[in-house]
Structure 1
Amino acid sequence: MEFNELNLSSGVLEGLDAMNITKPTPVQELAIPVILDDKDLIACAQTGTGKTAAFVLPVIHKLANRQSHNKATTLILVPTRELAIQIDQQIMGFSYFTPATSVAVYGGNDSMLWETQKAALINGADIIIATPGRLITHLNFDYFKLDGIEHFILDEADRMLDMGFQEDITAIAAKLPAKRQTVMFSATMPDKIRKLAKKILNNPVEINLSTSKPAENILQAVCMAEDPEKYSILLKLLQGKTDIKSVVIFSSTKSKVKQIEKTLKAAHMNVGAIHSDLEQKEREAVMLRFRSRELQLLVATDIIARGIDVENIDLVVNFDVPHDPEDYVHRVGRTARAQADGVAMTFVSKKERRQLDLIEKFLGTKIYQYRYHL
C-alpha cells in the first residue's frame, strides 16, 4: 500500500512527497483509516514504528479541509519535553502544504517560552502538543479552555503513568468536551493502561503491534560486570574507537549519568549528558550538538529513551539493565534505524541477572555474552 491509497488530502500527500515518504508502516496503515473515520482507538506500538505519523497525518488531513482556524481542535499529551518538541517538528514537516498550525507546550524557567506558549494558546494554534503538568498550569490561568478540542491523543501513555501523570491526565480529560475522538498510543498494555482507557475512551478499536523485536541488523551482546567495573569496561569499550561516530549510553539514575559523563570527560572523550537537573535550553543544546555529530557520546537517563529520534546511531550501551523487556527493545532500537547496522551492549551485574532472563524470554533467544578482561 502507498499513502495515496489512504484518502488523505492533497496537502498532506504533498508534504509526504516532499519528505520522500511514499509507503505507510503497518501501524500507519491500520491506524489512519480508524482515525479518519472518527473512531476512538487504543494502539500498542513501539517507538520506531512510525506511530507519530499514524495519528498526526489524519488530524492534519481534517484540518486541511476546515474553513475556520481560530480555536485549538487537537490536544496531544506526551510525557516529556523532548517528545513534545520532536512531534511539533514532525507536524511542521507534514503540514507544510496545509494551513494547520501547532505549538509545543512544556515546562521550563524561560519567561519568553511561557509567553510564546500563552500567545499561541490564546490565538488558537490548531494542534497543541503538551506535557500534562505544563498544560494544567496554563489552564489554571483561565485564558485558555479545552472546549474546542475534537481530537484527544495520548502518546507514550504507559510512560506518562510511570511518571505519575495519571491524576493530571484524568483532570485534563474532565475539561474536554464529552463528544470527542480519543486516541491512545502505548508501547505496553498493562492493567493500569486498560483501566485508564476504559475511563476516557468510547468503544475503541484496538491495534496491537507490541510483539515486534529488535531489528535483525542489531548485533546484541551482554557483558557481565558489577557496578564498579562498569565504568572501566565502558572506557575500554569506547577509547580509541574513532570509527564509532555516534553512541548513546543509557543509565537508570541521573547521579549515574553525571558520573558516567564525568568519567568519560576525564578520559578526554567528546561527551554530553541529558538529565532532569538541566534547564530545557541546556538539554536542547546537548541534543542539537549530538544530532549534528558535534558530540560523539550522549549519556541519558531512561526517561528520554523513547524521545531520542536520531538516525545513524552506531552503538547503544545499557549501563544498567532495563527493568522491562519492552524498555530494552526501545533502547536498543535507537540503533540500526532505516536499515543501517548497529550494536547494542548491555552491562549486567549479578543482581540484574533476573531482568536479563526476562528480556531473553521476551526475545525468545539468548543474547551473546561478551567477556571483557580489564
Structure 2
Amino acid sequence: MPFSSLGLSAALLKALADQDFTVPTPIQEIAIPAILSKKDVLGIAKTGSGKTAGYVLPILMNLQQTSLVKNRHANVLVLVPTRELAEQVKAVFQNFSKNLSQSVKTLAVYGGVSINPQMMALQGINVLVATPGRLLELLNSNAVHLSSIETLILDEADKMLNLGFKDDMDKIISLLPPERQNILLSATLSNDLKNIHQILLRDPVVIKIEDEENSLDLIKQLAYIVSDEKKGPFLRYLIHHHEMKQVLVFASSVHQVDAIVNKLRKNNIDAKAIHSKKSQGSRTESLMLFKAGKLRVLVATDLMARGIDINFLPFVINYELPRSPKDYIHRIGRTGRAEAPGDAISLVSPNELDHFGVIQKKMGKQVEIVDSETINQKN
C-alpha cells in the first residue's frame, strides 16, 4: 500500500518522497486514516515502528483544513516524557511541514534550560511538544493557553505513567477542552495505560502491532557471565576485540553511567554519558555526535534511550540487566532496525542469572550464555 492511498496531500507526499519514505509501516497504514477522520486512537507498537510519523502526517493534514489559532493558543499538544523525545518529535513535525501552503509553527518545551526563551517563542504556536513539568510552569505564567487544543497526543504513554507524571497530567488534562481528539501511543500496554485509556479515549481505534518478538530475529543476542568487579575490563575488551565504532551501553543508574564513562576515558576509549543529571546542552551534543558516528561509546540510562533513534546502530551492550523484561526488549531493540542486523550483548553477573532466565522466558527466546572466564582477553 503506497502513502498516496492514505488520503495525504501532495505536499505531504512530496515531503515523504524527499525523505525517502516509500511505503507506510503497519501502524501508519491504520493510524493515518483514523487520525484524518478525527477518531481517538490507541496505538501499541514497538519503538522504531513509525508511530511518530503515523500521527504527525495526519495531524499536519488536518491542520491545513483548520483556521490556525495564534496568540499563544496552540491547536495540538504532544506530551512526552523526556527532552530528547520532545526535540525528536519537533523535528519530525518540522521536516514534514516544509512544503505546506499554510505554515505550521512547532515548538518543544522542557525543563533543564531557561524558561524565558521558551516563553517568548510561544507566540503564534500551533503544535506544542512538551514535558509535563515545564508545561505546567508555562501555564502558571500564562505564557500559553490550552483552551483551543483540538488534538492531544501522549507519546510513550507507558513511560510517562511509570515515571510518575500522573498528577501533572491530571492537572493538564483538566485544562483541556472536553471535545477534542485523543491519541495514546506506547511500546507496551500496561495496567496504568489501560486505566488512562478508559478515562481519556472515546470509542478509539485500537492498533496493536505485535511484532516485537519477530523483530528480535534481526538481533544476534549473546550473554557473558561476568562478576560485577570484572565488568569494566570485560566491556573494554569487547569494544576492542569487536572493533566497535558505535556502541550504546546501558546501565541502571546515573552513578553507574558516569563510572563507566570515566573508566572508558581513562583507557583511551571515546565515551560520553547521557542521563537526567546532565545539562540539556551536554545531552544534545552527545546524542548528535553519537548519531553522526563521531562518538564511539554512548552510555545511557533507560529513560534517556527514548530519544535515541538510529536505523543502523550495530551494537548494544547491557552492562547491567534492567528490572523489566519489557525494558530489556526496548534496550536491545535500539539495534536490528530498518532491516539491518545488529548485536546485543549482555554482561550478566552470577546473581543476575535467575532474572536473566525470566527475561528469556518473557521474550520467548533462548540466549547463548558464555562464561567470560573461558575467554582469552589478551588477544
- Is TM > 0.5 for Structure 1 vs Structure 2? yes
User: What TM bracket, shorter-length normalisation?
Assistant: over 0.9
2:94 matched to 1:92?
Answer: yes
Q: SS at the partner of 2:351? A: helix
Aligned to 2:331: 331
Deviation, 1:338, is 1.8
Return the TM-score normalized by structure 1. 0.95
Q: What does 1:130-145 correspond to in 2, within 5 Å?
A: 130-145=130-145
Gaps of 5+ in 1: none
Return the TM-score normalized by structure 2. 0.93
Amino acid corresponding to residue 103 of structure 1 in structure 2: L
Aligned to 1:218: 219
Aligned to 1:203: 203
Deviation, 1:128, is 0.7
Aligned to 1:189: 189
Encode CA deviations 1:115-159: one digit per residue, 9 max, x unaligned. 3321232x2321111101110110011232100100000011110
Deviation, 1:314, is 1.4
Aligned to 1:107: 111
Encode CA deviations 1:91-131: one digit per residue, 9 max, x unaligned. 1111111122200111123x3xx23321232x232111110
How far apart, in 2, do the equivalents of 1:192 and 1:57 lie?
A: 28
Deviation, 1:306, is 2.4
Deviation, 1:210, is 4.0
Deviation, 1:194, is 0.9
How far apart, in 1, do the equivalents of 2:17 and 2:117 lie?
A: 31
Amino acid corresponding to residue 118 of structure 1 in structure 2: M
Q: What does 1:187-266 correspond to in 2, within 5 Å?
A: 187-213=187-213, 214-239=215-240, 241-242=242-243, 244-266=244-266
How far apart, in 1, do the equivalents of 2:218 and 2:202 lie?
A: 40
Amino acid corresponding to residue 132 of structure 2 in structure 1: P
The partner residue of 1:75 within 74, 77, 87 is: 77
Aligned to 2:7: 7
**CA contact 2:329–2:363 (8 Å) conserved in 1:** no
Q: RMSD of the alignment, in Å? A: 1.5
Encode CA deviations 1:274-329: one digit per residue, 9 max, x unaligned. 11221101111111111222211100111122220123211100111122222112
Q: Please, which moves more after superposition, 195-204 or 273-282?
A: 195-204
Q: What does 1:53-72 correspond to in 2, within 5 Å?
A: 53-70=53-70, 71-72=73-74
Q: SS at the partner of 2:238? A: helix
Amino acid corresponding to residue 76 of structure 1 in structure 2: V
Amino acid corresponding to residue 89 of structure 1 in structure 2: A
Q: What does 1:258-277 correspond to in 2, within 5 Å?
A: 258-277=258-277
Q: Please, which moves more after superposition, 231-240 or 258-267?
A: 231-240
How far apart, in 2, do the equivalents of 1:338 and 1:93 lie?
A: 20
**CA contact 2:222–2:346 (8 Å) conserved in 1:** yes
Encode CA deviations 1:17-40: one digit per residue, 9 max, x unaligned. 111112100011111111111111
How far apart, in 1, do the equivalents of 2:207 and 2:291 lie?
A: 32
Deviation, 1:61, is 0.7
Q: Please, which moves more after superposition, 226-235 or 203-212?
A: 203-212
Deviation, 1:191, is 1.2
Deviation, 1:225, is 2.0
Aligned residues: 369
Aligned to 2:27: 27
Aligned to 1:288: 288
Amino acid corresponding to residue 247 of structure 1 in structure 2: V
How far apart, in 1, do the equivalents of 2:284 and 2:304 lie?
A: 12
Q: SS at the partner of 1:290? A: helix
Amino acid corresponding to residue 370 of structure 2 in structure 1: Y
Q: Please, which moves more after superposition, 206-215 or 226-235?
A: 206-215
Q: SS at the partner of 2:269? A: coil
How far apart, in 1, do the equivalents of 2:111 and 2:347 lie?
A: 33
Amino acid corresponding to residue 238 of structure 2 in structure 1: L
Deviation, 1:69, is 4.7
